[in-house]
Structure 1
Amino acid sequence: MNKNILVAFGGVSPEHEVSVLSAMQAISALEETNYSLIPLYITKSGRWLTGEYLLDLEHYQDLDELVQQAVPCTFSHNEMGKPVLLETEKQGLFSSRQTHSIYAVLPAFHGSEGENGAFQGTCDMYNLPFAGSGIFASSLGMDKVKAKEMCRAHDIPVVDSVDFYESQWEKAQDEILDEIDELGFPVIVKPVNLGSSIGVERADDRESLIEAVETAFRYDANLLVEKAVSPLMEINCSVLGDPEEAQPSVCERPLGKEETLSFEDKYQSDDGGNKGMASADRVIPADIPDELTNKIQDMALTIFKTFRAAGVARLDFLVNAETNELYFNEINTIPGSFSFYLWKESSISIEELMVELIEIARTQHQRKIGRVRSYETNLLSQKAVQGIKGLKNKES
């Protein structure tokens, strides 16, 4: 069997470029394996493209040329009914459309449609094995408000917050500001459905809060304003596995120029950002007490399983540096660089991590298709159809 791995990345998201970096890291890691690698690049306008030209990171410096060289594609079925990647344009006068069987899909999206469950739902509709979390965990992890509500329901500590939509802000700005005042400044303003610290700003008073809110609305119509933890120490931990069996990585303490990490801290360090999240400054393992490390790892596992996540995820925590009070911040169901830099501290290479993600995807898929997925009855039988006709006659 030809083991074609479809690496899917890009997408309509402010985190588009970060996704390309993660995908190139995954492709590089899998080059020496027995898998065949096929890129599925989704442009910033939503076009699906494939082709070998997409396998070279340097080609992304000229996106117009990239689009010209790549081949439009889509999911389809072959003559035997098996899902395939279909190249939708012929490459030459006498060539035919090519199809590629798919062993598994490796999503490398960050943010928006790629990480929020929409693409995962497409894979489900085509009955394709895909790495990482399913629709439920993906959509929950992308929505910071609902993720916090889930944690509160399971007695997992989160910081106090206020959330609102742009329409509510326009109608009741003063009331919302009064509610935020009750949290106490400083506060952190966040788009609800984005990652990579895009649109995230700290506000120390009403004036800077209003400015931060207006900026964040450029990225999302739903915002979250949280009470700032101060003095803040951010600690992250990755989890690998599925809802039934999973393991935590070592912890890391990211370093940034400010108390709250920015996009630049994460992706634009001295190496130019070519290594994605792997280039960010951090302390690994985190220089924190063993008791706090164990508590974070246990909480990370609990949240991972509560959210029904799968594959690899990174869970970010906020810690009061004086009291060691711990709060869940967010879960990244497709973490930047797949958090390989945390797993190599556990003697798991990026190649081994990618292979494990693919095999978890295959196992999860086999579990799903091994169950009864249809019910052998025909509701469109003669009797049922007659009943519908009778109803129609009554209405007329």
Structure 2
Amino acid sequence: MIFKYNTEVIAFCYNWSVTKTKVAVIFGGNSTEHEVSVITGLQALENIDTDKFDSIPIYVSKQGEFFVGDGLRKIESYRDLSDFASKAQKVQPVLDENEKGFKYFSFGRSKLIEIDVFLVCFHGGLGENGGYQSLFEAMGVPYTGSGILGSSLGMDKVTAKSIFKNNDMPIVNHIWFYRNDWVKNKKNILERIEKLSYPLFVKPANTGSSIGVSKAKDLKELENAIELASIFDRKIIIEEGFEGREINISVLGNSGSTLQTSVCEEVFPSKNLLSYEDKYVQKGSRSQGMAGSNRQVPAKVDKEIQKKIESVARHAYESLDCFGLARIDFIVNEKTNKMVLLEVNTVPGSLSFYLWEASGLPYRDLLTKLIELAIQRQEDESKNTKSFPSNILENFNPGVKASKN
């Protein structure tokens, strides 16, 4: 496929320094959290250390097309996608160990935009469930955040909870089922749900940003909530309510090495459930992402509970084989001195920079640390033997050929 060459939008690539690391800040994608990802990506582009890195915005459209261009740094570029071609250059990833990056075509000849590291700012979809992580692996380019396994496990609330339970971490009572099971045998599903106590929280297993999540106080609300969740995923999870405060913490580092924990935050939902609107579209917070939500940072938490949160957070992080950074969400009941682990977000909104700034690590330095961790992980992976000397094919006989009719 030949793409039209747009000189103006691609010109910034030729002003890169030969000594700086070329960082592709990649965001967007075919996801219900597409717009949230754009916010996170633009925040990262604004805060990356330009003394150390040359940044390039890589926007993935809802149709899965890749674009580059300096105009992608401005929020105005995303308000009218009908004129997007004049603001960005379509490119395609290169799967060649000698050419790492993206190509576009000029006068019938391909030109390469070299990439040293991907700074991942996807939320949901292929960008958070391991899909694009697989692409980056195939390209041979290091990338921030968790790998294929950690990303896919973190995205699936059902699988993650199974791992947490098997590792003796506290979780809420819950059940799960497939959308088709609900359609075919609603009575059986409702009988299973009866073992749980209201209120219940109904969630699509593989979405984030509270999309498709509802609180149900009775059977009618429950059935409506299941129908809503079914729009967004084939797998539905229903959690029993747990009274307490929503406390979140971030973990930084690569599994198998030293991990750091941030200060905690307490999040205040507007209607007993932290919604998409609470997180991203309340008045005055549109450009701040998760940093603009109604929250207290640092949270006022008992020291012993803080230590327990930090310990369980590290355990959860490593149990899913996470890398780079994640946010781990809890519900804490200080009256009973109990808590439950809700989920691990491998690409949290705004990359949880506000938690790290409150911990003494500025956003710029956090991004630098994430890039360094990505490079370290690839260097560690390079120590693995990925081929084995063998001559078993030398004498291999494929056997009898199938007869032709």
TM bracket, shorter-chain basis:
over 0.9
Give the SS at the match of 2:190: helix
Give the SS at the match of 1:327: strand
Cα deviation, residue 392, structure 1: 3.2
Runs of 4+ in structure 1 over 4 Å off: 393-396
Partners of 2:347 and 2:224 lie apart in 1 by: 30
For 1:288-312, what per-residue CA distance to the aligned partner results, in whole angstroms no more than 9, with x for missing partners? Answer: 2111111111110111111110101
Cα deviation, residue 239, structure 1: 0.2
For 1:130-172, what per-residue CA distance to the aligned partner results, in whole angstroms no more than 9, with x for missing partners? Answer: 1110111100000000000000000001001111111100111
In the TM superposition, 1:283-322 aligns within 5 A as 283-320=296-333, 322=335
In the TM superposition, 1:132-281 aligns within 5 A as 132-230=145-243, 232-244=244-256, 245-281=258-294
- Contact 1:120 / 1:135 at 8 angstroms: preserved in 2? yes
In the TM superposition, 1:1-396 aligns within 5 A as 1-30=19-48, 32-76=50-94, 81-90=97-106, 94=107, 96-230=109-243, 232-244=244-256, 245-320=258-333, 322-381=335-394, 383-384=395-396, 387-388=397-398, 391-393=399-401
Partners of 1:373 and 1:58 lie apart in 2 by: 45
Give the SS at the match of 2:221: helix
For 1:294-344, what per-residue CA distance to the aligned partner results, in whole angstroms no more than 9, with x for missing partners? Answer: 111111011111111010100001123532311010100011111010001
Higher mean C-alpha displacement, 5-14 vs 321-330: 321-330
Partners of 2:109 and 2:84 lie apart in 1 by: 22
Cα deviation, residue 393, structure 1: 5.0
Give the SS at the match of 1:174: helix
- Contact 2:173 / 2:239 at 8 angstroms: preserved in 1? yes
Percent identity for Structure 1 against Structure 2: 36
- Contact 2:99 / 2:112 at 8 angstroms: preserved in 1? no
Give the SS at the match of 1:334: coil
Partners of 1:39 and 1:173 lie apart in 2 by: 46
Cα deviation, residue 96, structure 1: 4.4
- Contact 1:189 / 1:216 at 8 angstroms: preserved in 2? yes
Alignment TM-score, normalising by the size of structure 1 = 0.93
Cα deviation, residue 395, structure 1: 6.7
Cα deviation, residue 272, structure 1: 4.0
- Contact 2:356 / 2:362 at 8 angstroms: preserved in 1? yes
Cα deviation, residue 67, structure 1: 4.0
Question: Partner letter of residue 33 of structure 2?
Answer: E
| Residues 272 and 378 of structure 1: CA distance in aligned 2, closer, same or farther (over 3 Å) | same
Count the aligned residue pairs: 385
Give the SS at the match of 1:119: helix
- Contact 2:155 / 2:207 at 8 angstroms: preserved in 1? yes
Higher mean C-alpha displacement, 15-24 vs 263-272: 263-272
Cα deviation, residue 57, structure 1: 1.8
Cα deviation, residue 377, structure 1: 3.4
Superposed CA RMSD? 1.7
For 1:335-378, what per-residue CA distance to the aligned partner results, in whole angstroms no more than 9, with x for missing partners? Answer: 11110100011210000000000000000001111332222335
Report the equivalent of 2:6: none
Partners of 1:318 and 1:228 lie apart in 2 by: 10
- Contact 2:211 / 2:275 at 8 angstroms: preserved in 1? yes
Gaps of 5+ in 1: none
- Contact 2:100 / 2:140 at 8 angstroms: preserved in 1? no
Partners of 1:333 and 1:320 lie apart in 2 by: 25
Question: Partner letter of residue 181 of structure 2?
Answer: Q
Question: Partner letter of residue 392 of structure 1?
Answer: V
- Contact 2:28 / 2:38 at 8 angstroms: preserved in 1? yes
Question: Partner letter of residue 44 of structure 1?
Answer: K
Alignment TM-score, normalising by the size of structure 2 = 0.91
- Contact 2:20 / 2:52 at 8 angstroms: preserved in 1? no
Partners of 1:58 and 1:394 lie apart in 2 by: 61
For 1:24-82, what per-residue CA distance to the aligned partner results, in whole angstroms no more than 9, with x for missing partners? Answer: 1111111533211112211111111112221222211111222443212122156xx42
Question: Partner letter of residue 98 of structure 2?
Answer: K
Partners of 1:62 and 1:220 lie apart in 2 by: 29
Partners of 1:178 and 1:147 lie apart in 2 by: 24
- Contact 1:83 / 1:127 at 8 angstroms: preserved in 2? no
